[in-house]
Amino acid sequence: MPRSHAPSFKDWVLPSAMGKIRRKLAGSADGDRQIVKILAAVLDDGLPAVEAACAEAMDQGVHSADVILNILARRRDPDPPLTILTPDALKLRHVPLADCARYDQLRSSG
């Protein structure tokens, strides 16, 4: 007997990695919910990015929507800022020397 309340996305033809994720999640209790999360990410990140994130997750041996969304978020984050070079006027002229014996002197004078 067909389930009329079954989500319509189950019949969608998805790219390879997304289809594999859908099949892996089909057996879990919240698989439909996870697939919906992944499909919703297509609106923000685009189909190629979501497909690539699914492929990366599968390469890592995982198929969770949270992992896939995390991969997408990491890819959206900007690169770390460039290192700022220190102007000559702010460079140390004399590098401080570490002298732990000074701490021993403080302890013994008290």
Q: State pLDDT tens for residues 76-98.
A: 877 777 888 888 888 888 888 88
Residue ranges of the chain with per-residue pLDDT less than 50: 1-6
Give the model's pLDDT for residue 34: 92
State pTM to two decimals.
0.62
Give the model's pLDDT for residue 103: 80
Give the model's pLDDT for residue 80: 77
Give the model's pLDDT for residue 2: 44
72 contacts 41 by C-beta, under 8 angstroms: yes
- In whole angstroms, what is the distance from residue 73 CA to residue 9 CA? 24
Structure tokens at 3: 């389930």
Give the model's pLDDT for residue 5: 47
How far are the Cα atoms of 16, 38, 67 from residue 41, in angstroms, in the given order?
Answer: 17, 5, 12
